[in-house]
Amino acid sequence: MNYRAWQLKTADAAGEQSLAAAGYGPLLARVLAARGVTTPGAAAQWLEEQAPLSDPFLLKDMERAVERIQTAVENGEPIVIFGDYDVDGVSATAILYECLTSLGAQVRCKLPSRDGGGYGITRDALEKLAAKGYTLVVTVDNGISAVEETAFARELGIDLVITDHHLPPETLPDAVAVVDPKRSDDSSPFKDLCGAGVAFKLCAALEGCEDPAELLEPFGELAALGTIADVMPLVGENRTIVREGLSVLQDTMRPGLQALLENAGCAGKPVTAETVSYSLAPRLNAAGRMDSAAVALKLLLCENEEQAAGIAARLSEINADRQHTEQQIAAAALEKLAADPARTRDRVIVVAGEGWHPGVIGIVASRLMEKYGRPVIVISTENGEGRGSGRAPGAFNLHAGLCACASCLLRYGGHSAAAGLTIEEEKIGAFRKAINDWAAREYPVPKPVVLSLDAAVRISELTVPAVQQLARMAPFGGGNPVPLLLICGAVVDGVWPLGNEGRHTRLRLRQGNATCFVSVFGTAPDDLPYRVGMTVDAAVEVSIFQGRSGPMVSAHCKAIRPADLGNAPSEQAAWFEALLAGTALPRDQRLACLPTRAETAAIYRMIRSGTVFAEDLQPVFAAAGPQNTGKTLASITALLELGLIERRGSRFQPVAVSAKKDLSAAPILQKLAGPDGDQPE
């Protein structure tokens, strides 16, 4: 169970007062100060000024890349752009294609497919290109790890110019040029460009721009698409690219993007980073996940409005298919885990299924990670081979785990939070054991996932002008998330279903005479353990929407818990989960999780009353005492082990039994008591 530790940023009263005195609204001043922006000058620079785009030739090997490409252009030598199938790779491909064709180059684009070899340039692809006579390939958003492939290309007479933004291996590919800001010997000032950002810089170098910002008008919206979709930090040069790119996208002259906006229902509305993240990027990504990334590239390059409308409609259909497939695979994965609950206690959850669509397993892994609060790897098997995608919370280094298990894998790559792998199906069991053994050594008691809160607020402070001022911090995304605000001690004043199907909930929270409506997505009212009259703390994101009578504040609940619960439950839950996963806890932690018979009986009475919700036990923790969270979890586990309770729907319910059960026989209680039969202190 995923119980996060709420962490409120340290308030900076002096900085807040300084900003307020300079005319910044109190809510904006509080959030800025909490994020370390404490002076009017720093605030003005953050909110209004733009970081200059650095000289592209500061990137290592940029001169060599430009020289080789210009030689090809001058000699009429065809150039192949080898991209990737996600939004960043497709956007990077489109940027470089348009730039090279404008310079008079003969250009062909090549995008990999998930079903045809997967990410990155391959020997097979190189052989086919060589057979057709191509002698220059420029990669975008890939290639930094293609050491063997680059050597093979050289044997075939193909020159490779690699442009990428991923972490390089110890040995770089022996290419004509390797342009990657994350190279250890790269001296360029900004390291967080995405693949499209690096391609943008290459184009600025090819065009001979004194200031790369000259290319923001023709290419900024494509670079912004890649930057936002790849969840890059929206700071420094990325913030400049995204701000300007969104401005261009607002009134785009590209028929493809205009058709995409219209199809997504976003035409005529303000275009924000959220528009890209939640409306445009999923449609573009769906092509590479479910069909062919070439469909997305064709849309970005399309110059005919009628044709663009047709491609956009096709992408919408593919995206709907992606959503349906994702739901099916997520349900199948949950069913497999439910059939073997011990697997959900692993430090790294590994779940595999035959024929699961490889294009969506990464999304499923993300959803399972959110549910269980731990790393998850989802593997699709076919013809004796598995292709996996993993996601991990911030404190866990997934890539390091794969490195430690390299002997089990055919291929792997990625970074700490997300990674992919290829494995022989027969080795999946050994891999699950190996990565969990590694995690047990490196993370014996995993730290709780942290929910970072920007500032505490009163409901009365959430006025339209105050929330409108917060919007000045946009664009929001990686490195600059939407402000998350903490409302403490609010009374639940109303609970209603939200949406036609009633799958979501709308709450009214009250503090004194001030109220606000808060949406809770993904939980129906009957499944929500917070009832009218309860006092809660809520973590919310706020925005403005146009209501019938004008602008109104909208609040989205990211987390909710009983008021004053604190973080003791998240810490003890981590102990308990570590124990279930096989960690030998220190005696004091072990006994802190060992309940008395009376404490377990009290939990059983709560379950009989129908007030224990399986997905959110925080109200139970509050009732039993936050310091007794481990005991509460142990009591519920023991009752489940003895068959005295079961989960029905969203709640735990008692089971009718014909004979008396010996509570001390529950395996979890025996484990907590230890070999000496310790008792709670």
pLDDT above 80: residue 402: yes
279 and 344 in one domain? Answer: no
Q: Rg of the chain's alpha carbons, rounded to an integer?
A: 27
DSSP 277: I
* Residues 635, 601: Cα–Cα separation, whole Å: 8
**Residue pLDDT, tens place only, 130-152:** 999 999 999 999 999 899 999 99
When pLDDT is averaged across residues 193-201 and rounded to a whole number, the result is 98
Helix (H, G, I), strand (E, B), or coil: what is residue 232? coil
**Locus of tokens 């885990």:** 337
Residue 679 counted as domain residue: no
Residue 311 forms part of a structural domain:
yes
- As to burial, measured by CB atoms within 10 angstroms (0-12 exposed, 13-18 middle, 19+ buried), residue 479 is middle
Residue 472 Cα to chain centre, angstroms: 24
- Residue carrying structure tokens 């030689």: 71
Positive/negative CA dihedral, 129, 133, 134, 135:
positive
Please state, for a pLDDT cut of 90, what percent of the chain lies above it. 81
Over residues 364-399, the pLDDT tens digits come to 999 999 888 889 999 999 999 999 999 998 879 999
Instruction: List the structure tokens of 209.
Output: 């721009």
User: At 470, which amino acid appears?
Assistant: L
Identify the band that residue 674 occupies on the pLDDT scale cut at 50, 70 and 90: confident
Per the structure block, which two tokens stand in for 562? 């009983």
Is 149 found in the same domain as 297? no
Residues paired with residue 517 on neighbouring β-strands, in sequence order? 508
Count up the domains in the chain and report the number.
5
Rounded to 5°, angle at Cα 129 from 124 and 131: 95
Residues 31 and 483 sit within 8 Å (Cβ to Cβ): yes
- Residue 379's alpha-carbon distances to 31, 329, 353, 534, 617, in angstroms, are 41, 11, 6, 42, 30
Residue type, 83: G
Range of the domain at 614: 568-673
Torsions phi, psi of 427, nearest 5?
Answer: -100, 5
Q: Is the pLDDT of residue 1 over 70?
A: no
What is the helix (H) or strand (E) element at residue 125, kind and residue range? Answer: helix 123-131
Per-residue pLDDT, 499: 81
- How high is the pLDDT of residue 118? 61
The answer to whether residues 283 and 263 touch, using CB atoms and an 8 Å cutoff, is yes
Amino acid (one-letter) located at 389: S
Tokens of 245: 């790119």
Which of 407, 427, 430, 409 minimizes the C-alpha distance to 419?
A: 409
Residue that is last in its domain, among 530, 562, 594:
562
Residue 626's region, left for phi above 0, alpha for psi from -120 to 50, else beta, is alpha
Q: 67-71, 161-165, 499-503: which range is least confident on average?
A: 499-503
What does the pLDDT look like over 11-48, one tens digit per residue? Answer: 899 999 999 999 999 999 999 999 999 999 999 988 88
Same domain, 383 and 458: no
Residues 661, 534 within the same domain: no
Is 330 domain-assigned? Answer: no
With a CB cutoff of 8 Å and minimum separation 6, the contacts of 44 are none
Domain harbouring 180, CATH code:
3.90.1640.30
The candidate with the shortest Cα–Cα distance to 62, out of 200, 172, 178, is 178
- Tell me the per-residue pLDDT of 504-516, one tens digit each, with 9 for 90 and over: 999 999 999 999 9
How far is C-alpha 130 from the geometric centre of its chain's CA atoms?
38
Phi/psi at 492 (nearest 5 deg)? -70, 115
Quick one: 219 and 152 in the same domain?
Answer: yes
Residue 112 has pLDDT above 90, yes or no: no
For residue 332, is pLDDT > 60?
yes
Q: What's the average model confidence in pLDDT over 645-651? A: 93
Tell me: pLDDT of 116 over 60. no
Confidence (pLDDT) at 585 = 86
Per the prediction, the chain carries an average pLDDT of 93
Domain match, 60 and 33 both: no
CB 636 within 8 A of CB 615: no
pLDDT band with cut points at 50, 70 and 90 for residue 681: low
Residue ranges in 561-628 assigned as alpha helix (H): 568-580, 587-592, 597-608, 618-624
CA dihedral (547, 552, 558, 560) positive or negative: negative
DSSP assignment letter at 265? T
CA angle, 229 then 311 then 83, to 5°: 45
- Asked if residue 391 and residue 357 are part of one domain, the reply reads yes
Tens-digit pLDDT profile for residues 212-253: 999 999 999 999 999 999 989 999 999 999 999 999 999 999
The answer as to whether 680 is a domain residue is: no
d(CA 202, CA 179): 9
Q: Which of 507, 529, 562 is the last residue of a domain?
A: 562
Q: Does residue 681 lie in a domain region?
A: no
Residue 226 near residue 33, CB atoms below 8 Å: no
CB 370 within 8 A of CB 393: no
> Same structural domain for residues 355 and 309?
no
Q: What is the CATH number of the domain that holds 34?
A: 2.40.50.460
Question: What's 579's domain CATH number?
Answer: 1.10.10
Q: What is the CATH number of the domain that holds 363?
A: 3.10.310.30
Q: In whole angstroms, give the CA distance from residue 350 to residue 373.
A: 14
Burial of 659 (0-12, 13-18, 19+ CB in 10 A): exposed
Q: Measuring CA to CA, how many Å separate 82 from each of 77, 126, 276, 283, 387?
A: 16, 10, 24, 21, 22
Q: What local confidence, expressed as pLDDT, does residue 153 receive? A: 97
Angle, CA 346 vertex, CA 370 and CA 611 arms, to 5°? 60
- Shared domain for 84 and 211, answered yes or no, is yes
328 within a domain of the structure (yes/no): no
Q: Would you state the pLDDT for residue 115?
A: 64
Please indicate, yes or no, whether residues 84 and 231 belong to a single structural domain of this protein: yes
Whether 211 and 64 share a structural domain: yes
Q: How large is the greatest C-alpha to C-alpha distance in the chain, in angstroms?
A: 89
**Residue 471 pLDDT > 80:** yes
What does the block give as tokens for 54?
């650095």
- Chain CA centroid to CA 510, Å: 32
Q: Is residue 106, in this structure, part of any structural domain at all?
A: yes
Parallel, antiparallel, or unpaired: how do β-strands 485-498 and 535-547 relate? antiparallel
* Surface-to-core class of residue 640, CB atoms within 10 Å of its CB (0-12 exposed, 13-18 middle, 19+ buried): middle
- Among 546, 562, 578, identify where a domain stops: 562
Q: How many CB atoms lie within 10 A of CB 415?
A: 13
Question: Residue 548's pLDDT is what?
Answer: 82
Q: How confident is the model at residue 415 (pLDDT cuts 50, 70, 90)?
A: confident
**b vs e for 464-478, b when ≥16 Cβ sit within 10 Å of the residue's Cβ?**
eebbbbbbebbbbbb
- Residues 521 and 610 placed together within one structural domain of the fold: no
pLDDT interval class at 344 (50, 70, 90): confident
Instruction: Identify whether 71 is part of a domain.
Output: yes
Asked whether the predicted pLDDT for residue 677 surpasses 80, the reply is no
**pLDDT recorded at residue 229:** 95
